[in-house]
Chains A and B, each alone.
Chain A
Amino acid sequence: MGQVLVLGLVYGVIYSLFAVGIVLVYRGSGTINFAQGEIGTFGLFVAWWFTTAHHLPWIIGAVAALVMAAALGAGFEWAIVSHMVEANRVSVAVATIGLLAFLVAFEVRFFEGGNIRKMVAPIRGTGWSVFGVVVSPTQILSLLAAGALAAGLALLLKKTDFGLGVLAAAQDPVAVRLVGIPLARVSAFVWGLGAAVSVLGALFIEPTIGVFTPGFASEMFIKGLAAAVVGGLTSLEGAFVGGLLIGFVEVGANRVFDFPGVKMFSILFVMLLVLLVKPDGLMEGFKFRRRALA
């Protein structure tokens, strides 16, 4: 039981990070950036290039990857999404799948992505034993980082005018422009932040999993998506709760049942169960309303 809690927390926090990125973009633009996970993988390639290939410290690789992801997310919004304001939201989501395909192709072509790689951990060390599970310093760090991110986001969104503008843009994208808020900057920020959070998740989970290849973080992204949906897709609190729930269920199911693929089965099961019982997600009190552009 203790092991399930510890491992569930370690994985769940990472799914929470991916879910937070998904919720940010969904609230800001009413759509899902399916490339977000792969931007995380791409961030690993960038970080690997700095750290392993060029022997620079972890932090340099991590910062470079985060900057790259933020630029990629914001740039995609600026170049493509902002020109699709009138378009169906599904069309925008399909456009992000184009970016996903491009990133995978790029990784294969320029990083010889077929080779299996390892990314170094931010902190070395043997770690501590908790309930019979060895918890690495990286895993502790990822918990701290997720907590700091949650607190930072809450502060940003509620305490700053810009953050309040991000929340308002999700409620009425026309009205924010009528009060003088630069909507283009708000959207680009949200897409950039969503992408950067994916890199954070990928950097922290990679040492636990061990190796990465193209598509690595897209699998995490799918679980993050399940977590976001379980949390209601619009609630940041829901994203954290959903991520932890998916983490516990996945690890728990893997202990109880012993057959290949049990993790994905269990996630599907939880997702369907939540959607049947509470179709608007666990955090349905905080509803998101989209106004027609009337």
Chain B
Amino acid sequence: MTEPLLAVEGLRAGFGATTVLHGVEFSVNEGEIAGIFGLNGAGKSVTMKVLAGVVPSRGGRITFAGQDITRLSAEKRVAAGMGHVPQGRQVFPDLTVAENLRLGAYLLRRKDKARAASLLDGVFDRFPVLAERRDQLAGTLSGGQQASLAVGRALVNEPRMIFVDEPSAGLAPLVVQELFATLKQVATSGVTMVLVEQNVSFGLQLADKAHILQMGRIVYSGEVGALDQQALAGYLGIGRMLGGVTSSALAGRRAPSPSPAINGSAAATSAEGEDRVPRSQRRRQARATSGS
């Protein structure tokens, strides 16, 4: 068997006196889409930040492409082939679309300008809306366009693996379907992916493997196909959620009630089609629901 591209062993992390990750373990093979699912506050985003190197680990080991990267800075990890689409997208609001993409290719442009230019063309082909709006300030884009920009910004550096945290948050179902189709293409083109989704029915459409995170521990890892509904419901505390997964009609209609998301409020956000709600407001909503 070949080595996994990413191996996470006994990863611990926390803030101050609280421990958030109590020994997270999972691995991702080359070419795979690994879905990380879990309730709000389970530690999915913290896991992503520790993997990125922007939150320090307090124990455990991260191996990427055969190299122990546990002590590497965030920049060096990007140089090693990691790309990030963080929660909330985090595009640079006062820079234009083109400037955001130029910074996405910061490291590649220092090595190979021509290669960076051709990757940029690839991103513009994949997201024509970004090409049309290349001189628009990123902060004035809609949520869906910002999501495209965040994905594009990660891809222009030619990553081996991208880490995508809740790309669907705050987007209308139709926009989510479009974005997921793009992510699927990206994965097919050979980029390995870790995907965090709180909307499990969306996430399961895309993922090959599922890792379920509960209170800072992985409690299930396995093929998505092997996951039975009962087990999933047991871990995530809801039933009937696979009802919508196979139904492509989900894309075209408002989210059914009871919703397929892990918690009701998140489904409400994605069902309202509020593609243009200012981010600050969306944040406030997100925060308001995070106690559940």
Using CB atoms and an 8 Å cutoff, list the residues of chain A in contact with chain B.
161, 164-165, 167-168, 171-172, 174-183, 286-289, 291, 294
Contact = CB atoms under 8 A, between A and B. Distances in A.
Contacts of B94: 167, 171, 286-289
B91 A177 contact: no
Contacts of B93: 171-172, 289
Contacts of B238: none
B-side interface size class = 20 to 34
A175 B75 contact: no
B102 A178 contact: no
A195 B4 CA distance: 48
B157 interface: yes
Contact of A168 (B54, B74, B78, B103): B103
B95 A179 contact: no
B74 A178 contact: yes
Nearest to A169: B92
B75 A168 contact: no
Of the listed residues A164, A165, A174, A179, the one surrounded by the most CB atoms of chain B closer than 10 A to its CB is A179
Interface stretch (B22-30, B104-112, B195-203, B266-274): B104-112
A171 B86 contact: no
Q: Which 9 pairs from chain A and chain B are nearest by CB?
A: A180-B78, A177-B74, A175-B90, A178-B84, A180-B107, A168-B92, A171-B92, A182-B75, A180-B75
Nearest to A181: B106
Contacts of B153: 179
B102 A164 contact: yes
Given A164-B99, A294-B88, 15 more contacts: A167-B95, A171-B94, A174-B54, A174-B90, A177-B52, A178-B52, A178-B84, A179-B78, A179-B154, A180-B75, A180-B157, A181-B75, A182-B73, A289-B93, A289-B94
B92 A175 contact: yes
B65 interface: no
A237 to B, nearest CB: 14
A168 B90 CA distance: 11
A288 B92 CA distance: 11
Contacts of B103: 161, 164-165, 168, 176, 179, 181
A224 B110 CA distance: 36
11 contacts: A161-B103, A161-B106, A172-B90, A174-B86, A176-B103, A177-B52, A178-B54, A178-B78, A178-B86, A179-B78, A289-B139
B143 interface: no
Contacts of A164: 95, 99, 102-103
Contacts of A289: 93-94, 139
B95 A291 contact: no
A109 B161 CA distance: 57
